[in-house]
Amino acid sequence: MPDEKRKVRISRFLSMVLRHQPDSVGLTLDEAGWADVDELIAACAARGRRFSRAELDHVVATNDKKRFAYSGDGRRIRASQGHSVPVRLGLEAAEPPDTLYHGTASATLPLILAEGLKPMSRQDVHLSADVETAVRVGSRHGRPVVLAVDARGLAAEGHVFRISANGVWLTDRVPPRWLRRHPTG
């Protein structure tokens, strides 16, 4: 099994390839974001990023955010969400809980409160079911702020929610009237 630093490097590289730049290794994702595992390993090795199937299995199994998933037969892999390349994950609409959370950096708060949450370079806005996850997400970009999203009200207005394989809630956007600052952030 890879050491922790190698595991993180492989995971970050896979995120880049499977979410944003499959063409950087000469890979093409299908419309649902899947890539053939053997082709992925070979394409990465051809670009100087070598890892074994056992290392890939370890990264997929131990990733704390469950960023990647294998197909049922284990022959294909994809990112669970977060794509900037066009994919259709085939996620069914789901009834959200009353409140979901979004973690961000304090520097972005004024713009978000004025314009709402937008997918930016991704296909969807990402929301968390718990405050702790939102704090971790917000911490990646500076001093974290947590926003509570009135998901029930947003859904009643017609916004569709889906939940990814790793528990991230997805929706197209969140207008500012459905946001409030959570006391934690």
**Any residues with CB less than 8 A from the CB of 134 and at least 6 apart, and which?**
101, 102, 103, 128, 144, 146, 147, 182, 185
Domain residues for 121? 99-181
Is 92 inside any structural domain?
no
pTM, two decimal places: 0.79
Domain for residue 85, yes or no?
Answer: no
Decide if 90 is inside a domain. no
| Contact call for residues 185 and 125 (beta carbons, < 8 A) | no
List the CATH number of the domain containing 117: 3.20.170.30
Same domain, 172 and 110: yes
- How many independent structural domains does the chain possess? 2
Same domain, yes or no: 65 and 111: no
| Per-residue pLDDT reduced to its tens digit, 33-76 | 999 999 999 999 999 999 999 999 999 999 878 899 999 999 99
Q: For residues 168 and 81, is the Cβ–Cβ distance under 8 A?
A: yes
**Can you give the pLDDT at residue 24?**
95
pLDDT by residue (tens digit) across 110-129?
999 999 999 988 889 999 99
Same-domain status, 71 and 103: no
pLDDT in tens, 16-38: 999 999 999 999 999 999 999 99
At 52, phi and psi to the nearest 5? Answer: -90, 170
Q: Which residue in 79, 61, 169, 76 sits closest to 125, CA to CA?
A: 169
Who contacts 144 (Cβ-Cβ below 8 Å, separation ≥6)?
Answer: 103, 104, 105, 106, 134, 135, 136, 137, 138, 185
- Calculate mean pLDDT across residues 120-147: 91
Question: Which contacts (CB < 8 Å, 24+ apart) does range 38-41 have?
Answer: 38/75, 40/77
Q: Which residues contact 167 (CB under 8 A, 6 or more apart)?
A: 66, 129
Establish if 122 belongs to a structural domain.
Answer: yes
Percent of the chain clearing pLDDT 90 (strictly above): 77
Identify the domain boundary among 16, 51, 79. 79
